[in-house]
Chains A and B, each alone.
Chain A
Amino acid sequence: AQRVTQPEKLLSVFKGAPVELKCNYSYSGSPELFWYVQYSRQRLQLLLRHISRESIKGFTADLNKGETSFHLKKPFAQEEDSAMYYCALMDAGNMLTFGGGTRLMVKP
């Protein structure tokens, strides 16, 4: 069975500092990976999807199959980036498995 692990429940950084939210996965097939974000009092929304290789709001994520990781990175954090971030894996049946989430706090 697939599994997604986000080892940090809370990550606190200062504005302008680099950010890396870690995500590791286990899956026997070819993974499709996502990052979802949930801002305060808002619904869960897609941040980025590895297959599209886009950079959204300055965030990027690279799939590393050797290390089974899909870490989310941003070179300079902004206060508006404070939110809950969830890494998720989609299997061949179109079903998502989520990690436990990391709360990012960006301090002024």
Chain B
Amino acid sequence: ETGVTQSPTHLIKTRGQQVTLRCSSQSGHNTVSWYQQALGQGPQFIFQYYREEENGRGNFPPRFSGLQFPNYSSELNVNALELDDSALYLCASSLWLAGDTDTQYFGPGTRLTVL
């Protein structure tokens, strides 16, 4: 059983650019959640994907978008990057069954720096 993996590890972009971050779920999991963790703060929920559809969204603008693929891997896309988007982006996978919840398991994160 493999854990959650994310790529790339680090990324440097400039304001206005677009970025795509990738996440592979833990084996057997069907749900992927993305979080943004600014320096010195706890992770903040961006959105969640279940069965390839967005299943919930936090307080983030539409320029944050995502995808989930049939193999349950996922992408986070951010358009028109701003300096405040500099953060650690965490992906977490879980097995969500109707009427139940499951622990979310986190990847190592992608450190995004916007200059």
Contacts and interface: CB of A to CB of B under 8 A. Distances in A.
Interface of A: 4, 6, 32, 34, 36, 43-46, 49, 86, 88, 90, 93-101
Contact of A46 (B33, B48, B101, B103): B103
B72 interface: no
B66 interface: no
| Nearest 8 interchain pairs by C-beta | A98-B42, A44-B106, A43-B108, A93-B56, A100-B42, A98-B43, A101-B42, A94-B101
Given A94-B96, A95-B56, A43 B106 contact: yes
A100 B41 contact: yes
Contacts of A43: 106-109
B43 A86 contact: yes
B104 interface: yes
Interface string B80-100: 000000000010101010000
B85 to A, nearest CB: 19
A37 to B, nearest CB: 11
A99 B42 CA distance: 6
Contact of B33 (A6, A86, A95): A95
Given A44-B106, A46-B105, A94 B31 contact: yes
Contacts of B90: 44
Contacts of A4: 42
A6 B107 CA distance: 23
B44 A98 contact: yes
Contacts of A6: 42
Nearest to A97: B45
Nearest to A100: B42
A45 B103 contact: no
Contacts of B35: 96, 98
A100 B41 CA distance: 5
Nearest to A38: B106
A27 B92 CA distance: 22
Interface string B35-65: 1000011111100100000011010000000
A101 B10 CA distance: 23
